[in-house]
Amino acid sequence: LAVRRAALLPPPGAPGDPAGQPLPVESRPFASYGSALHVALPQPPRAGQLLTLEIDYEAGEGPGVCWLAPEQTAGKQKPYMYTQGQAVLNRSFFPGFDTPSVKCTYSATVKVPEGFTAVMSATSWEKQKDNTFVFKMSQPIPSYLIALAVGDIVSADVGPRSRVWAEPCLIEAAKKEYDGVIEEFLAVGEKLFGPYVWGRYDILFMPPSFPFGGMENPCLTFATPCLLAGDRSLVDVIIHEISHSWFGNLVTNATWGEFWLNEGFTMYAQRRISTEVYGSAYTCLEAATGRALLRQHMDNTGEDHPLNKLRVVIEPGLWGVNPDDTYNETPYEKGYCFVSYLAHLVGDQSKFDAFLQAYVNRFKFQSITADDTLGFFLEYFPELKEKGVDSIPGFEFDRWLNTPGWPPYLPDLSPGEQLMKPADELAELWAADDLNTEVIEAVDITAWRTYQLVYFLDQVLQKSPLPEGNVERLSKMYPKISKAQNAELRLRWCQIVLKNNLEAEYHKVKDFLHSQGKQKYTLPLYRAMWGGSESARALAMETFSATAPQLHVNVQNYVKKILGLEVAE
């Protein structure tokens, strides 16, 4: 981002040169992921004085602004651009106070070429002449939630306050998948956590290279097209993004070192909504797959890795950790366990729901620390404060926050056992040296929902490599799994193919990595290929050289690290 000039404009309605008074600007070192812009004012401002500063700048090359060639889109006809601010990337999109501790409203005027549409995370938008769009966000938000996308996109209504946006070739699928369901989730969210303050809740289905499952930009969630599974089986990702409307977007972590305040509470809220809509058995099963991801992550890094604390030390300065590189399962799933532990201390779901509503109401439109959250919890439940629940040996709040490792408390997921037990038993059967085909054939998996299949595949993966010949037979027997189009199933099947070195199905790994660029699917598969046989490593190199241009730059760099390639600074 290059700053051309800065000027102090006269106060609204006051005399003075409308072009303003030019000010000296200087860029000074700040961190490896951004520099500090210093603007010298003519005289020191008074406390409370309103200043209007105009900064002329040019942006476009930074990591927060993604430019896609036509072949990287679904339609393959026109280019596309989008921004991704979280965590510290919006500083490459516009100069600003790029920290979650500062919230502000914003407005934008965006002029695009003929045949393109612009959308933003704003409470109002209006198309004017000359392909110009005007946006306003009337609620204060942190900088990372300001988002823009421009492309060949169209929309379709799917509810009274919701529409889906997508490239024309995807709009029918998007409408079919989400028609009528979003309003149900919003209504349950409002019942549990209080009013939805953002007006609309729209979803933009991104091109396949979008690196995340979803990004909770207010009013307009950006979502991976992988969610268009055709059977509504992956809507829990949308429930997650909807839950951010209260936790993250309304009540925000003041620093990225306490990201669990955004994500742990959002996982808890997502599972509360899911329990109301789909029941506790299914929700516990989904939570069990989340727990398995946390286990996998901690096995990869070692439990005592400093990232496996809820409070991560992110030192600012030139040698500090880039907050974007701290992204992992811990704030999500260990954070979820801590929030569940708080609910367990309360011991009554409706009382804890009421606390969450009071918490949102108390801190809405603010940025807070874990101390604020836990202080409010103890203030809201004085009888718990009296009992000293913050310092129960082994479960101290301080230990939760500052000690790395496995969560001291795990919520009870036993309601999911009616769905897990058959999956566990079937996985056992497939891991046997002598396959008991009769018993296996008697198990009918046609009615199993996605997360039951995911759970089954996770168990098979844990037991892999399976005895000689078993994976081939499993593949033949369950085309529903081995030929699935559902991304969650494809990921697990590809992991199983690699762990069992099933070269006959390597092409499925390649096809999956060619079809999308989501970080959570891409990195585990490269790790598995790189940790596998010679031919698996060759597959990794071949696939990466073919797909690198279509990946987000951060994801490219993470893959390069896995493959031991040079990362350009």
Q: What is the rounded distance in angstroms from the CA atom of residue 326 to the CA atom of residue 338?
A: 19
How many Cα atoms occupy the beta-carbon half-sphere of 292 within 13 Å?
A: 18
411 is in an annotated binding site: no
49 annotated as a binding-site residue:
no
User: How far, in whole angstroms, is CA 508 from its chain's centroid?
Assistant: 25
Catalytic residue among 167, 177, 241, 258: 241
Q: How far is Cα 563 from Cα 416, in angstroms, rounded to an integer?
A: 38
97 known ligand binder: no
How many Å is the Cα radius of gyration of the chain?
25
Q: What DSSP string describes 399-465?
A: HHHH--SS-S-----GGGHHHHHHHHHHHHHHTSSS--HHHHHH---TT--HHHHHHHHHHHHHHPS
Residue partners of 47: CB distance under 8 A and separation at least 6: none
Is 180 one of the annotated binding-site residues? Answer: no
Which of 350, 412, 351, 344 has its CA nearest to residue 380? 351
| 315 marked among binding-site residues | no
Indicate if 417 belongs to the active site: no
Does the annotation mark 327 as catalytic? no
User: Can you say how many angstroms the Cα of residue 461 is from the centroid of all Cα atoms in its chain?
Assistant: 24
The answer on whether 113 is annotated among ligand-binding residues is no
Strands 220-223, 202-205: pairing is parallel
- Please return the burial class of 253, using the count of CB atoms within 10 Å of its CB with bins 0-12, 13-18 and 19+: buried
DSSP conformation letters of 283-342 = HHHHHHHHHHHHHHHHHHH-TT-GGGSSS-----STTSPPGGGG-SSIIIIIHHHHHHHH
Q: Is 520 annotated as a binding residue?
A: yes
- Asked if residue 263 belongs to a known ligand binding site, the reply is yes
Report yes or no: 405 and 303 within 8 Å, Cβ to Cβ: yes
244 is in an annotated binding site: yes
240 marked among binding-site residues: yes
Residue 519 annotated as binding site:
yes
Question: Nearest 5°: phi and psi at 464?
Answer: -80, 155
**514 annotated ligand binder:** no
84 is in an annotated binding site: yes
From the candidates 33, 332, 359, 521, which is the catalytic residue?
A: 332
Q: Is 64 known as a binding-site position?
A: no
* Nearest residue to 148 via CA among 102, 189, 92: 92
Q: Is 184 annotated as a binding residue?
A: no
Binding site members for a peptide: 84-86, 211-216, 518-520
Catalytic residues: 241, 332
Binding site members: 84-86, 211-216, 240, 244, 263, 518-520
Binding site members for Zn(2+): 240, 244, 263
